[in-house]
Amino acid sequence: MRGSATDPNRAGRRVLGTLAGTALLLPLLGAAPAQSGDSAVGLQRAFAAAAAEYHVPQSVLLGVSYLQSRWDGHAGAPSVTGGYGPMHLTDARTALASAPHHSEGTEDARGDSARAALLPDQKVPPISEVPARLETLPKAAGLTGLSAGELRTDPVANIAGGAALLAAAQKELGEPLSADPADWYGAVARFSGADDTATAAAYADDVYDVLRTGEARTTDAGQQIALAAQPGLAPDTSQLARAGLRKPKAGDTECPKTVSCEWIPAPYEEFGDNDYGNHDLGNRPAAQSIKYIVIHDTEGAWEGVLNLVQDPTYVSWNYSLRSTDGHIAQHVKAKDVAWHAGNWYINAKSIGLEHEGFLANPDAWYTEAMYRSSARLVKYLSAKYGIPLDRQHILGHDNVPGPTTSTVSGMHTDPGPYWDWRHYFELLGRPFKAATAFKQGGLVTIRPDYATNQPRYTGCVTSGQPCAAHGSSEVRLYSAPDESSPLISDVGVGRPPTIDVNDLSSRVSTGQQYAVAGRDGDWTAIWYLGQKAWFKNPRTSPTAVAASGLVVTPKAGLDSVPVYGRAYPEAAAYPEGVPAQAVSPLPYKVLKDQKYVVGDKVPGEYYYAVTFSTDSHKVVVGKDLYYEIQYGHRVAFVRAADVDLRPSVRR
């Protein structure tokens, strides 16, 4: 058949030739605005041409591509799993890495000074067999006759490769190359690369959600793409039974029904000299509340990272999320305490999510499938445990404070500047919006445009050398309203500030809120780490928007108040047999007349769990109260008795 997946030597090149011609016979779905980019006819027509050539409904091709990449080409750079182009065609040779997240730096993932520091030194073990989901690009090359290089770097070729894969999957299922999008559910499920029915179904359901709602956006190459909504579309889900996929592993997971989730437990085992791993048993939320969700990246590939979390001598987290299809593995129940954040107070009050990805590789992009799956999980956990959906409760690992002065400089910095917090919170249903009164709100919410906000970083590959230019969630801070002025310094880090990708001293992140300390033309000042910090915020292209809320400031008569990295109880609160933990301030202060945004008011609390047997475990709650504040890039705590709580609105 003309243009079918069985014509490998001619079909793909015919798509490219068609685009060099005149008008296309297949009408576009949705309005097709004027195009820009490397092709004179634009990506919208490339989707139409590939759909016509391979007899795949154009809406299906657009929907799959949106879930993979939101139609972005990323200039030919691979994703975190070696996926290329708008269709995220994978080549495993670019996907494998060996630097595990919790084996880097000096951070004790457990973060409990009552125990010896836990500093694992493992490498991600190599995978013995490359899974099929990481080798779709070579298969597309065979189906289209296009070279691997073309499929990686040419978006038009890449789209043709994706169409060929979908057509091949449809034929393998014994289904006709129908013009009706409802007839392609099984092929879409197979395109995910998942080997189990639950993950494939979750992926296909997501694609059909996109088809029902429609989408429109401008890509990273300036291409305007539109997909018209089909609200009544009902796919033939029975096709999945003929897809030849395994049934998912049985397990009592804590996940929403809208994602694919399996139980791969982290071990609670004794070993060595009175040691055990790799988490603590608890009774949350009955014994202590869950206040935070911490977003991490793995710094390693899926299979190897799963091997690590099943090692009792390593550390743990509650969930892992896979890049290619958004699949989730749960390792630690929410009632128990995983060792992931580097601060025992945060660990005891949080749930940790590890996302397959790399902090210091700006071009190793995250898929839309993983963003959406993560957002669904976070919304589920938020509703179940009453966790507010804001940036002082949905933390990056880079927002977790050092628990003591000696730990501040060694804390982790993931998921880093290339995690798209703005898009993530849109998926959470909590977009960062501007307050109505810019000058009267008293606060700002950091909200740059991710794609066009491209601050310079160094150290992604080689220390001191520039990173590739890329969109970022973060905005740089200066000591004066001038980009030639010194960067803001972090006294707790103990070294001069730099623009290194891992240096958080002078950076604020999307969604974080700060009290306004001044304005000068296109510049805004905020209170940050005890200093007045300036960032460029032009009215024509703002990097922050107005906000209002509650702030704390030192009580009258106090020149400064101490800042803490954990909200621990006073010594009198500890019962017999539980050693009192030091309420030790960090090397920071809130100075007179400075204001910091409040995230929560909490009692001092400590979870004593230093033995394998749970008989001695206790939750100690004090009478002292603390406010969680946005102090710098990381959150921190101040004693409620030291500060006044006020509205931010300036009268």
Domain extent listing, the chain:
11-91+135-242, 249-417, 552-647
Cβ contact 446:464 at 8 Å: no
Cβ contact 576:616 at 8 Å: no
Q: Residues in the chain, how many?
A: 651
Cβ contact 39:225 at 8 Å: no
Residue 488 structure tokens: 């803001």
Pairing assessment for the beta strands 292-297 and 350-355 based on DSSP bridges: parallel
Asked if pLDDT for residue 215 goes beyond 90, the answer is yes
**Proportion of the chain above pLDDT 90, given as a percent:** 79
What are 299-353's pLDDT values in tens digits? 888 888 899 999 999 999 999 999 999 999 999 999 999 999 999 999 999 999 9
Task: Determine the pLDDT at residue 301.
Answer: 83
Dihedral pair phi/psi, residue 337, rounded to 5°: -110, 115
d(CA 111, CA 343): 4
At 624 the three-state DSSP class reads strand
Place of tokens 């634009």: 42
Report CA-CA distances (Å) from 228 to 59, 183, 216, 422: 8, 18, 8, 24
Q: How many CB atoms lie within 10 A of CB 374?
A: 23
Q: Which amino acid is at 150?
A: E
pLDDT bin (cut points 50, 70, 90) of residue 436 is: low
| CATH number for the domain formed by residue range(s) 11-91+135-242 | 1.10.530
CA torsion, ordered 516, 519, 523, 524, to nearest 10 deg? 0
Q: Which of 264-278, 345-359, 398-412 has the lowest mean pLDDT?
A: 264-278
pLDDT bin (cut points 50, 70, 90) of residue 434 is: confident
Upper half-sphere CA count for residue 379 (Cβ side, 13 Å)? 17
Of 103, 111, 64, the closest CA to residue 83 belongs to 64
At 603 the three-state DSSP class reads strand
What are 493-523's pLDDT values in tens digits? 999 999 999 999 999 999 999 999 999 999 9
- Looking at every residue in the chain, the average pLDDT score rounds to 90
At 134 the three-state DSSP class reads helix
Upper half-sphere CA count for residue 192 (Cβ side, 13 Å)? 33
Asked if pLDDT for residue 178 goes beyond 80, the answer is yes
Report CA-CA distances (Å) from 536 to 51, 77, 476, 520, 541: 45, 29, 8, 10, 10
Asked if pLDDT for residue 6 goes beyond 50, the answer is no
Asked if pLDDT for residue 99 goes beyond 60, the answer is no
| Long-range contacts of residues 103-108, Cβ cutoff 8 Å, at least 24 apart | 104/299, 104/412, 105/410, 105/411, 105/412, 106/409, 106/410, 107/342, 107/407, 107/410, 107/411, 107/412, 108/342, 108/407
pLDDT bin (cut points 50, 70, 90) of residue 1 is: very low
d(CA 273, CA 280): 17
Pairing assessment for the beta strands 328-330 and 443-446 based on DSSP bridges: unpaired
d(CA 179, CA 449): 38
Between residues 100 and 372, the one the model is more confident about:
372
d(CA 318, CA 340): 9
Global confidence as pTM? 0.92
Beta strands in 274-412 (DSSP E): 275-277, 279-280, 292-297, 319-321, 328-330, 337-338, 350-355, 394-396
Q: Which of 106-110, 188-192, 495-499, 564-568 has the lowest mean pLDDT?
A: 106-110
Is domain 249-417 classified as CATH 3.40.50.300?
A: no
pLDDT bin (cut points 50, 70, 90) of residue 249 is: confident
Asked if pLDDT for residue 649 goes beyond 60, the answer is yes
At 163 the three-state DSSP class reads helix
d(CA 617, CA 281): 9
Task: Determine the pLDDT at residue 488.
Answer: 98
